[in-house]
Chain A
Amino acid sequence: MKKLSKGFTIVELMISIMIASVVVGGLVYVVGESNFYLRKQMYRENVKKYADNVLNDIFLSAINANDVNIDNDGQIICGFKTSDGSSDSLKVYDYRINQGILVDGRPIEYAFFHNKDKNKNYYMQVTKFKAKTAFDGIGVDSELRDAVIDVFLGIQLNYNRGGSKVTESFPFQKTIFTRKAAVYSDNN
């Protein structure tokens, strides 16, 4: 009873504060890490969603187009014709590093590209957009070679962790059997 009525010594107080600090510090660290982990997963999920939407849009255009032109500058041009065979319209896929994939010069409507200007916490950049024929080997029949294309999309995700900048790269690929004939123009 004597000890309790006397209160705590400075050593006891220091030890209890130290233990409390370690416990609270640990909790703060765990909560901070969980929060960062969740944010990171959300960023990654947004990148995947964007890539899926873009590649599906290209897929739908390519399978319905009468001809698909691809070149090494990262352009995919889908040509559509009327029933009498005359040229009707074109759909041109292009890219800008900080704007994402553009169709006829405009961003794809339902694919949200988180660019540098809109998001301070994180942003995406297109590092690669390229299409090429899937069957490229020697002796491959030209009809088969022209009919199947591979579309590649590389997206870089940039975000901050504390004071440092983190960068992650995500490669995506979609193989498309264009049904009609694709025309491959090699600019090299």
Chain B
Amino acid sequence: MKKFETGFTLVEVVIAALIIVVITGSIMYGVITTDNSLRNVELRHRAFNTLANKMEEFKAQVALNRIQTSSDRDRRVCIEYKTIRDMVNQTGAGTGCRTIGYLSHNIRSRQTESNQARIFDIEGKLKYKMMSRFGKAGKDTVIALNVSQLVFN
């Protein structure tokens, strides 16, 4: 019973404080990690939609035989706009853009034996930066889509 009368020692108080700090730190780390994971999922979704939209444009160019550039590398595109107005006005990778990506594409004609149709392979890649744990731009991530477009002669 002597201990109750004398109170806690400094070592005990420091250990208790350390345990509280570790627990609080773990909770904070978990919250930040979850938040960034969700943000990365959203960015991936946006990046996929942007790439799918660009692939539609390439498919149209190929199908109508109006290919503007058969290959391009790291062209700046906007993955995420700040407002719908910026998106409609297509402010590109300027001030209205929240997240920038870099689009590469390659359109190749495939060798076929048919005289009636041609097949084009379209490769598209979009590079963007994922969020790091502390909300800053982290490592590069690349998503890719490959489609084939049939063109009748």
Cβ of A91 < 8 Å from any Cβ of B? no
Inter-subunit contact B87/A177 (CB<8 Å) = no
Which one, B27, B49, B52, B66, contacts A143 given CB within 8 A? B66
Residues on B with beta carbons closer than 8 Å to the beta carbon of A127: 84
Chain B residues closer than 8 Å to A1, beta-carbon distance: 1
Report B-chain residues with C-beta under 8 Å of the C-beta of A130: 88
Q: Mark A119-138, 1 if CB is under 8 A from B, else 0.
A: 00000000110101011000
Beta-carbon contact of B59 and A177 below 8 Å? yes
User: Could you say which residues of chain B place their CB within 8 Å of the CB of A3?
Assistant: 4-5
> Contacts of B38 on A, CB cut-off 8 Å?
41
Contact pick for A144, options B56, B61, B88, CB 8 Å: B61
B59 near A171: Cβ-Cβ < 8 Å? no
**Residues of the A chain whose Cβ atoms lie less than 8 Å from the Cβ of B59:** 177
Which of B4, B54, B61, B66 sits near A175, CB closer than 8 Å?
B54
Residues of chain A with a CB closer than 8 A to B63's CB:
147, 177, 179
A residues less than 8 Å from B72 (CB atoms): none
Q: Residues of B within 8 Å of A, CB-based: how many?
A: 25
Contacts of B53 in A (CB 8 A): 150, 173-175
* B60 interface residue per 8 A CB criterion: yes
Hey, which chain B residues are within 8 Å of A30, CB to CB?
A: 27
How many chain A residues touch B (CB < 8 A): the figure is: 31
Taking a contact as CB atoms under 8 Å apart, the answer to whether A4 and B27 are in contact is no
The interface residues of chain B lying within 8 Å CB-to-CB of A173 are 49, 53, 87
Asked if A159 lies at the interface with its beta carbon under 8 angstroms from chain B, I say no
The answer, among B49, B60, B86, for a CB contact under 8 Å with A177, is: B60
The residues in B between 16 and 61 inclusive whose CB is less than 8 angstroms from any CB of A are 27, 38, 45, 49, 52-54, 56-57, 59-61
Q: Does B64 contact A (CB under 8 A)?
A: yes
Q: Which of chain A's residues have a CB closer than 8 A to the CB of B87? A: 152, 154, 171, 173
- Is the CB–CB distance between A148 and B56 below 8 Å? yes
Q: How far is the CA of A174 from the CA of B84 in the complex (A)?
A: 13
Binding site for A on B (CB under 8 A): 1, 4-5, 27, 38, 45, 49, 52-54, 56-57, 59-61, 63-64, 66, 81, 83-88
Q: Which 10 A-B pairs have the closest CB atoms?
A: A154-B84, A175-B53, A171-B84, A177-B60, A175-B56, A171-B87, A144-B66, A148-B60, A128-B84, A177-B56
Binding site for B on A (CB under 8 A): 1-4, 30, 41, 48, 127-128, 130, 132, 134-135, 141, 143-144, 147-148, 150, 152-154, 169, 171-177, 179
